[in-house]
Structure 1
Amino acid sequence: MSLLIVEPLEADVMQWLAERHPVVFAPELALEPALMREALHQTQALILPPNVAVDVPLLRAAPRLRVVGRMSGGGENIDMEACRAARVEVIRSATATASAEAEFAIGALLAMLRRVPVQSSDGLWVGRELGCITVGLIGMTPAARALGQLLPAFGTRVIGYDPSLHQSDPLWQQWGIEPVALHDLMEQSEGVCVQLAYFPRYRGLIGERVLGFARQGQVLVSLAHSAVFDEYALAAALTSGRVLAAWFDSLEPGQLEPDRPLAGVSGLQVTPRLSGTTRESRTRAAWGVARRIDELLNTPREAAGEFRPTAPAVLADPSGEPRWR
């Protein structure tokens, strides 16, 4: 077969691919690793759900594999170095979910600002308005750039920080986001949105030294991998009230178990990766992945060039379109 699809796609996208390539649709293989490896022997292209890891054993079982497509933007369980060594291109839709994630983050901020009251000067406990606060964005992903465009419409001041982007970079001005140091962002922001792309070196980045600078009564939304937070420091910030509420769109498995620091902490809300999952974003992602797979399968391997991971390069392109590295 040319293309094995393990993640459900839009019907018109499936039909478009089937008209161009031999396609096998087998979502049940996501739960059958042995059968998956057997099916991969003759597979050239593969579309996988986020719960299936792209690792060395999978790649060894697929000697003809040229491309792996992933509908969601997360790459935590994709071994990029192994893919590079095997000359397997990884396609992730880095921009398809940006507007959906930005809308989700704004909705979460609005909900927390109203549902978690603060005491006003007259002694009443009241909510706050998004248009009268400063929001700090940590991580300049496509979703963050969308937030930089949407939040000022409310009257919100928007500041930002990214560890891979210097404050003097002209991209900040192009995006309309004021760059600041991380501790300044935490001190100045009543609301914080974290959408930092995950790399192992960022594990625990937002810990005691960062959360200790949080403005009193801050609310926080995270669309990032939860490993960028130190769970002990986060629990302490929520328990003390320095951070009034935090909304995580995913947590690592087990983080709410009784013996973990976040267990039973009030003010913490968790949703199961809802931010980027909309009908519209799925359609955009499906077409983006399908067109690139079609292009690659119609190109001889020797002419296809070197390995190209699609998602990380978007940071360097203010247009929001992926730029190959």
Structure 2
Amino acid sequence: MDVLIVDTVDADVLGWLGSRHELHVAPQLAADAFALRAALETVRALVIPPGVALDAATLRDAPRLKVVGRVNAAAENIDLDACVRAGIEVVRPAAAHAAAEAEFVVGALLQLLRRVPIINAEGLHVGRELGGAVVGLVGITPSFKPLARLLTAFGATVKGYDPGVHASDGLWSRVDVEPSGLQALVRGSDALCLLLTCHTRYHGLFGERLLTEAKMNQVVVSLSHARLFDEVALAHALTEGPLAAAWLDAVEPDLLAPGRPLHGVTTLQTTPRVAASTHESRIRGAWAVARRIDEVLLAAPRGDFRTTRPAALAGLAIGPTPA
């Protein structure tokens, strides 16, 4: 079998890919790990949803696997190191979801600024406008540039920080965003948008030291995983500290469970990774994954087992839809 699809993929994409390779669509395997592993023996390309785990043990049951695709850009449940060791390319079309994520962040900011009132100098509870606000963006991802454009169109002042990009780098002028240090960004922003990929070294980055220095009545929208925050510090900042409200779009299932620091915090909203989940972005992502799978399979001899030589992880730019 050339391609096994264990996700919901647009029919046009399936039709195109199926016209070029032997294709089997079995989304039901997402709920049956044993059956999935049994099906992998002859599979050369695999597309899986975020809820399906792909670890080293599973890869041992897939000796011919060359490429793994994820229509969603997240890498949860995929052992990237094991894939590299096995010479398997992992395709995650992050750029396909950039526009959807940018729109989601703007919508979340508009809701938080208007829905969570502050007390003005006259003692009235009032909402706020995005136009004229200072918005800090943390992390240069594919959604950074379209988000900066949208915010600027609303009349916001946009500043940015990325731990891997120096303030003197020409990238800042190309995205038309003023660079800032992280502490200064937290202190001076009316709204903070976290886009940063949450590597282990960033866990708890937004802890007491940073959150206690946030600008008064600041709102936070995060597409980064909630592990970027120290839970105790975030709960304190939302209930006793300077934050007016926060919206987290990537959280673990029991983050708000009784006994956890954020349980019962009414100024916190969470969503299960819906920022990138639009009809349009899934179609763009599916086409990008399908095109790369096609390229890999055409380049790899059909009868060969995979080599152990590591392959580079793929980053994709979205081009025109295949004919």
Instruction: Answer whether TM exceeds 0.5 for this pair.
Output: yes
Please name the residue that 2:43 is paired with: 43
Matched, 1:308 2:312: yes
Please name the residue that 2:58 is paired with: 58
Deviation for aligned residue 1:33 = 0.7
Instruction: Check conservation: 1:42, 1:64, Cα contact below 8 A.
Output: yes
Instruction: Check conservation: 2:222, 2:248, Cα contact below 8 A.
Output: yes
Instruction: Check conservation: 1:138, 1:160, Cα contact below 8 A.
Output: yes
Alignment of 1:85-234 (within 5 A): 85-234=85-234
Deviation for aligned residue 1:145 = 1.7
Please name the residue that 1:317 is paired with: none
Distance 2:130 2:245 in 1: 15
Please name the residue that 2:254 is paired with: 254
Structure 1's unaligned 5+ residue stretches are 315-319
Per-residue Cα deviation, 1:136-178 (whole angstroms, up to 9, x for no partner): 0011111122111111111100011111111111101101111
Please name the residue that 1:26 is paired with: 26
Distance 2:267 2:10 in 1: 37
What amino acid does structure 1 have at the position aligned with 2:286? A
Instruction: Check conservation: 2:41, 2:62, Cα contact below 8 A.
Output: yes
Instruction: Check conservation: 1:238, 1:267, Cα contact below 8 A.
Output: yes
Deviation for aligned residue 1:241 = 4.3
What amino acid does structure 2 have at the position aligned with 1:215? K
Deviation for aligned residue 1:128 = 0.7
Deviation for aligned residue 1:308 = 2.0
Distance 2:202 2:60 in 1: 29
Distance 2:118 2:100 in 1: 29
SS for the counterpart of 1:21 is coil
For structure 1, which segment, 120-129 or 62-71, has the greater mean C-alpha deviation from structure 2 after superposition? 120-129
For structure 1, which segment, 294-303 or 54-63, has the greater mean C-alpha deviation from structure 2 after superposition? 294-303
Structure 2's unaligned 5+ residue stretches are none
Q: Would you identify which runs of 4 or more consecutive aligned residues in structure 1 move more than 3 Å?
A: 301-306
- Count how many residue pairs are aligned between Structure 1 and Structure 2: 315
Identical aligned pairs, as a percentage? 50
Distance 1:205 1:37 in 2: 37
Per-residue Cα deviation, 1:50-108 (whole angstroms, up to 9, x for no partner): 11122101211101000000011111322221111100000001100100000000000
Instruction: Check conservation: 1:43, 1:62, Cα contact below 8 A.
Output: yes
Please name the residue that 1:296 is paired with: 296
Distance 2:119 2:131 in 1: 18
Instruction: Check conservation: 2:139, 2:195, Cα contact below 8 A.
Output: yes
Instruction: Check conservation: 1:76, 1:198, Cα contact below 8 A.
Output: no
Instruction: Check conservation: 1:68, 1:88, Cα contact below 8 A.
Output: yes
SS for the counterpart of 2:289 is helix
Distance 2:248 2:27 in 1: 28
What amino acid does structure 2 have at the position aligned with 1:183? Q
SS for the counterpart of 2:94 is coil
Q: TM-score, normalised by structure 2?
A: 0.94
Distance 1:78 1:161 in 2: 28
Distance 1:114 1:84 in 2: 46
SS for the counterpart of 2:193 is strand
SS for the counterpart of 2:254 is coil
SS for the counterpart of 2:158 is strand
What amino acid does structure 2 have at the position aligned with 1:176? D
What amino acid does structure 2 have at the position aligned with 1:216? M
Distance 2:300 2:128 in 1: 58
* Alignment root-mean-square deviation, CA: 1.8
Q: TM-score, normalised by structure 1?
A: 0.93
Alignment of 1:68-79 (within 5 A): 68-79=68-79
Instruction: Check conservation: 1:190, 1:215, Cα contact below 8 A.
Output: yes
Deviation for aligned residue 1:250 = 2.4
Structure possessing the higher relative contact order (Cα contacts under 8 Å, 6 or more residues apart): 2
What amino acid does structure 1 have at the position aligned with 2:135? V
